[in-house]
Amino acid sequence: MEKIFARPKSLKKAVFHYCPGCGHSIAHRITCEVIDELGIQDRAIGVPPPGCSVFAYYYFDVDMVESAHGRGAAVATGIKRAYPESLVFTYQGDGDLSAIGTTETLHAANRGENLTALFINNAVYGMTGGQMAPTTMLGIKTTTSPFGREGKYEGYPIKMSEILAQVQGTCYIERVAVNSPANIRKAKKAIKKAFQCQMEGRGYSLVEILSPCPTNWKMSAIESWKWIDNVMSKEFPLGVIKDTTGSKSDAN
Ligand SMILES: Cc1ncc(C[n+]2csc(CCOP(=O)(O)OP(=O)(O)O)c2C)c(N)n1
Ligand code: SF4
């Protein structure tokens, strides 16, 4: 009998520790599917962060080098420069990439480091208990913005993808979501295109993935998927933000 659905080869046979409905597990799976499809399991090197995905190395069956919080772009730069034939990707939350790691990320992008960032935006600091992140939307209550985020006091939701699109070293940036089968398919295509950009030596590529965190959003999984469509993607619109390849993104 023909097998039409199976665990990707590069996804270990381990049980995810993520909460039910969490987007990290979907992002892991589609990234592994892309690694398999591109045939790069033996040369892919992932750089996971502190955060809920801190144990990503238990799941990806590729070489992984853990970085300190926010330092993914710097660690990945070293790996890629030492092993230019490898396919290097960082896997970073929004607390990681858009707060403590802003400097490393912006300068790695500006230098056009030939690597790929998978940027998981769930609009909070997930692992540490749902504190406000730079990506938290105005009016949203978190443990550190109990009355709702107010721009005047707490700043405004930061749009890292749009900022990074401004610098010369970035070649491809797309925002996707993992909240529906159609969006998951688009997210996978975007990750594939970002990896292909790196394989072609085009510079820094990034896929921002809007990802549900039902636990800290205090919603059911289904409510959190709807919230991405109805609220989050209004603040963070989905689509290609920058593409210097000249080829039409097959994600759209
Ligand atoms: C240098 C440093 N500062 C703070 C922390 C504490 N810390 C661990 S995870 C985390 C936030 C994670 O949030 P995010 O990056 O958005 O990832 P998520 O858990 O939501 O996936 C923080 C502040 C740390 N590990 N290291
Ligand atoms: S706290 Fe949020 S981001 Fe962390 S595993 Fe649970 S649902 Fe996922």
Instruction: Indicate if ligand 2 lies below 6 Å from the C-beta of 215.
Output: yes
Cα 47 to averaged position of ligand 2 atoms, centre (Å):
19
Cα 27 to averaged position of ligand 2 atoms, centre (Å):
13
Report the atom number in ligand 2 closest to the C-alpha of 21. Answer: 7
Cα 126 to averaged position of ligand 2 atoms, centre (Å):
5
Instruction: Indicate if ligand 1 lies below 6 Å from the C-beta of 196.
Output: no
Instruction: Indicate if ligand 1 lies below 6 Å from the C-beta of 134.
Output: no
> What whole-number distance in Å separates Cα of residue 119 and Cα of residue 202?
19
- Supply the residue whose CA is at minimum distance from atom 6 of ligand 2: 19
Name every residue whose Cβ is closer than 8 Å to that of residue 230 and which is 6 or more positions away in sequence.
none
> Which among 107, 134, 68 is positioned nearest to 204, based on CA atoms?
107
* pLDDT value of position 252: 42
Q: Ligand 1 pocket test: which of 17, 71, 128, 209 has the largest number of ligand atoms within 8 Å of its C-beta?
A: 128
* pLDDT value of position 248: 61
* pLDDT value of position 230: 98
Q: CA dist 215 to 30, 69, 104, 151, 184, Å?
A: 22, 21, 29, 24, 20
Question: What pairs with residue 120 in β-bridges?
Answer: 93, 209
pLDDT tens track, the chain, 252 positions = 888 889 999 999 999 999 999 999 999 999 999 999 999 999 999 999 999 999 999 999 999 999 999 999 999 999 999 999 999 999 999 999 999 999 999 999 999 999 999 999 999 999 999 999 999 999 999 999 999 999 999 999 999 999 999 999 999 999 999 999 999 999 999 999 999 999 999 999 999 999 999 999 999 999 999 999 999 999 999 999 999 998 765 544
